[in-house]
Amino acid sequence: MLTYNMDVTPESVWKRTTPSEAELAQPYYCTEAGVFYAQQHFSTARTDKESYILFYTLRGAGLIEQDGNHVILSTGQALLLNCRTPQSYCTAPGQSCWHHYWVHLDGVGVAAMEPLLFPGKKLTPVQITGAKMQELFETILGQMERGNVDSMVQTGLALHGMLALCAQTILAEAETTSARQVILQAAEILRKNYQKELSLADLLADAHMSKSYFLRLFRRYMGTTP
């Protein structure tokens, strides 16, 4: 079941395609894509759809809800959503617009990347810097009406590129958080044991990183050397 209020401006784009058997055999393929210049009352609610959807906000913000989770998708953020369970999305409260790209995509490649893109099985907005995501969406929209082998390949590469951008960002943020925790833990050891003799080897014992990398991170987060 699908309900929606298409409060979008006329320059919005919505394209559909029926994948061929060859496309359905690919790790990444899409069935619909568009760019919506959504206004204040835009909304969609769906019980299920056999696909994923990837959003990318150009301006304003959207509110996405699923399984009791809800996130605000702000400018420059992307989010992958599995449409197989009920979901809703709309222009976020207090926002006058939600200008966003979107694509319905599927394939074994998307399913394989789902654990990376849903850490902790929670909806995870990803901040994407630069214009690369927008360029990839434009590639998909440009290829959808061609319907040949080259367009199939280009679309698949673009879809993989978008998901890879999201996954790389999530992994980098997780690595940064982990590294910062190691340094904060080392700093706490120093605070609690400042009257004892401690060596750098003592601090590195549980850090699982090289001496030079540890020292560089310590100065970055603490503003001084151990």
Per-residue pLDDT at 174: 62
Residue 71 dihedral angles phi and psi, to the nearest 5°: -135, 150
pLDDT over 70 percentage in the chain: 96
Burial of 163 (0-12, 13-18, 19+ CB in 10 A): buried
- Give 52-99 pLDDT, tens digit per residue: 999 999 999 999 999 999 999 999 999 999 999 999 999 999 999 999
Q: Give the pair of three-digit tokens for residue 124.
A: 């995870």
| 30-57 mean pLDDT | 96
**What would you report as the CA-atom Rg of the chain, rounded to the nearest whole angstrom?**
22
Q: How confident is the model at residue 170 (pLDDT cuts 50, 70, 90)?
A: confident
* Whole-structure pTM value: 0.78
Residue 191 dihedral angles phi and psi, to the nearest 5°: -65, -40
- Burial pattern 189-201, b for ≥16 Cβ within 10 A else e, equals beeeeeeeeeeee
Domain boundary assignment for the chain: 2-173, 178-222
Torsion of CA 69, 115, 42, 139, to 10 degrees: 170
Q: Decide if pLDDT at 103 tops 90.
A: yes
Q: Identify the CATH assignment for 2-173 out of 3.40.50.720, 2.60.120.280, 3.40.50.2300, 3.40.50.850.
A: 2.60.120.280
Q: Decide if pLDDT at 210 tops 70.
A: yes
* Helix or strand (DSSP H, E) at 153: helix 149-192
Q: What's the number of CA atoms in the CB half-sphere (13 Å) around residue 201?
A: 1
DSSP 192-223: HTTTS---HHHHHTTT-S-HHHHHHHHHHHHS
